[in-house]
Structure 1
Amino acid sequence: MPLPNDERIVALADDLLRQFDEIFGLHPGFRPAHAKGLLLTGTFTPSSGGRALTKAPHIVRESSPVTVRFSNSTGLPEIPDNVPDANPRGMAIRFHLADHVHTDIVSHSTDGFPTRDGQEFLGLLRAIAASGPDVPSPKPVEQFLGSHPAALAFVQAPKPFPSSLARENYFAVTAFAFTNGEDKTVYGRYRMVPEAGTDYLNSEQVAALAPNYHYEELAARVTQQPIRFRILVQLAQSGDTVDDATIHWPESREVVEFGTVELTAILPETDPEQKRIIFDPIPRVEGIEPSADPLLELRAAIYLLSGRRRRAASASQAQAAAAVASPS
């Protein structure tokens, strides 16, 4: 996973990371966003619909091992599961294709994204950082939302609390170009739908939740039965916008079955792997190509830079622990 060649994208990614640090504080070894999470393992089995859609390697195989990370929003590693800022939740899927070869899907539980590109997103984060409780209205974030309808729509979109992270829908932010064995290409967006169906809590139930309820529930659930998600792809029609994550396609658009993820265990050594794994929003496999959405290269740069920082912090912590255990 290389950094983009465009220095402007890398510089913008650095600016965004610094802005996340300003909002949430520094937490070495953790992600600047979606810091709190849990890794599970399982298997992906493709469907006939997926095989008709793309010639990607994990589709032409009978099955592939996967690692899936569920997460809370914000860069706070100990954010309670029952506060509004914990939403939207995240779900990232890694399809393991060979040693050090993989492709990923990165998604969250709100369909869409607040801004068209990275500069707008940086503007939103700066407005949030400048809008403390003592700042009079109209606060900078209120002014930003008032002049950016897509961001306002994202903020106002319902973000209910699921009874389980295994009973929530998840949506990939950007569109991709899917090409099958006959070289037919269509654009589509992923959505992950729980086999058990969605289920949400009311305000009284949310208020009663323990701080780590969702992750304790997820860990208990997977020991009792597999957790299954259907991966679907909503297809664009001719004329639909495919390079803007703020624009939704009508629900009347065709949706095809891509395959099923079955999760069966918590990942052993999950804490070290949380710090090591770097998900990639760009597929980087034959048969699934990125669209021209400007968020893709930027998100890839942010994930890589933050991942390198996370790994470096983890290595420093390990060295410090070793020095304490074996004083000279």
Structure 2
Amino acid sequence: MGLPPLSLFINASLLTGVTFFSSFAFAADKSSAELVDAVNGTRDTVSREAGKKAKLRNHAKGFCTSGSFVPNPKLQNTFAIPFFKQAEIPITARFSLGGRNLHASDKSVGRFMSLKIDGDKESLNFVTTNSPIFFASNLEEFFNFQTKVKQGAEGKQWLVDNQPNAKAFFDFIKTLPPSASFANSRYFGVNSFLFSANNGDVKPGRWSFEPVDGVVNLSQTQLEKLPNNFLKDELLTRIQQKPAAWDLYIQLAEPSDEINDPTVLWPETRQRLLVGQVLIDGSRDNESTTMLCDRGIFNPVLLPKGIKPSADPILNARTPAYIESFIRRQ
């Protein structure tokens, strides 16, 4: 079974509020095509065409699996989000590493989890990372980062010297040990969203996922004994025994918090509300939705009633760039 025709995919994107040509909204900054070129390292016509043939993409090394989401009924005491009134909602999940290398080593520190939670009438997608800090506050910084890191040590030094947000990100990554499993990683939605409260207020917040089995990291000695490809087998073997589980929270901002800049961390003392629990058990891995999930996109602004995107430029550039990348891979 193949993917729907591209025209249907584009139409679906339009219907869900994602303007296909929304790169024009930030054309004065960086267009979708420029952002994808920066991520792919395709800065000219020759490399761009080669990239299309190779179907270049970020997070190239990854796999899909499935499970369910169980909402917390008590959330309805605070938020007016009908989507979370359902008892249990199917999930399609993709776990991945960063970068374009299909053969990247699992011994790196980056862990990424993307989710599609498809309810009766609405859907909610997540694109998350195990770092709470993002490396760019705007599209110019994002473009510079993706371009310079591909230049090796010299490019990285340029970022350290010229982009404080990139330096802060590098400094944090140095302190982040590799986790023993995708299931033992925390995941963060670094962008902010606007949540509708029952009293009519709009409350900004960010998503975070806490592993029910706790964070488990690897020592250097443990890491050296593992093969380069251990994460997929570990998770798929684990969920044959019991589901991998995360508690999903919304961390609420205070009026003084910066909500449109993903490089700014909020204090850990900020209130968190339990949204529900993600359970990954592989129960629908034989269904086409799961088997084909590698070939689609996860749309972080595909949101149910009661949740809206913030004005964060990084968030609002994601989906047009994802669609641009999708088209190039066809």
TM-score of the aligned structures, taking structure 2 as reference length: 0.84
Match of 1:316 in 2: none
Partners of 2:214 and 2:157 lie apart in 1 by: 35
Q: State the SS of the aligned residue for 1:150.
A: helix
Match of 1:110 in 2: 131
Specify whether residues 4 and 189 from structure 1 end up closer, same or farther in structure 2 by C-alpha distance, changes over 3 A only.
Answer: farther
| AA at the equivalent of 2:63 | L
Query: Is contact 1:176-1:290 (8 Å) kept?
Result: yes
Please report the RMSD computed on the Cα atoms of aligned residues, expressed in angstroms. Answer: 2.3
| 1:14 counterpart = 2:36 | no
| AA at the equivalent of 1:92 | S
| 1:122 counterpart = 2:137 | no
Query: Is contact 2:130-2:186 (8 Å) kept?
Result: yes
| AA at the equivalent of 2:90 | P
Partners of 1:259 and 1:6 lie apart in 2 by: 34
Partners of 1:71 and 1:153 lie apart in 2 by: 23
Q: State the SS of the aligned residue for 2:237.
A: helix
Structure 2, unmatched stretches of 5+, are 1-12
Query: Is contact 1:30-1:275 (8 Å) kept?
Result: no
| 1:152 counterpart = 2:167 | yes
Structure 1, unmatched stretches of 5+, are 133-138, 313-328
Specify whether residues 31 and 186 from structure 1 end up closer, same or farther in structure 2 by C-alpha distance, changes over 3 A only.
Answer: farther
Match of 1:136 in 2: none
Partners of 1:29 and 1:235 lie apart in 2 by: 42
| AA at the equivalent of 1:296 | L
Specify whether residues 78 and 259 from structure 1 end up closer, same or farther in structure 2 by C-alpha distance, changes over 3 A only.
Answer: same
Q: State the SS of the aligned residue for 2:31.
A: helix
Match of 2:110 in 1: 88
Match of 1:135 in 2: none
Partners of 2:151 and 2:187 lie apart in 1 by: 30
Counterpart of 2:298 (choices 255, 268, 279) is 279
Query: Is contact 2:301-2:319 (8 Å) kept?
Result: yes
Q: State the SS of the aligned residue for 2:221.
A: helix
1:253-295 C-alpha deviation (Å, 9 max, x unpaired) = 1111011011111622688514333101214321111011011
Q: CA deviation at 1:169?
A: 0.2
Counterpart of 1:32 (choices 57, 61, 69) is 57
Partners of 2:247 and 2:179 lie apart in 1 by: 17
Q: State the SS of the aligned residue for 2:222.
A: helix
| 1:44 counterpart = 2:89 | no
Specify whether residues 53 and 39 from structure 1 end up closer, same or farther in structure 2 by C-alpha distance, changes over 3 A only.
Answer: farther
Match of 1:318 in 2: none
Partners of 1:119 and 1:128 lie apart in 2 by: 14
Partners of 2:23 and 2:32 lie apart in 1 by: 11
Aligned 1:99-248 pairs, distance under 5 A = 101-131=122-152, 139-157=154-172, 158-248=175-265
Identity %: 25
Query: Is contact 2:72-2:274 (8 Å) kept?
Result: yes
Moved more, 182-191 or 221-230: 182-191
Aligned residues: 301
Runs of 4+ in 1 over 6 A off after TM superposition: none
Q: CA deviation at 1:22?
A: 2.0
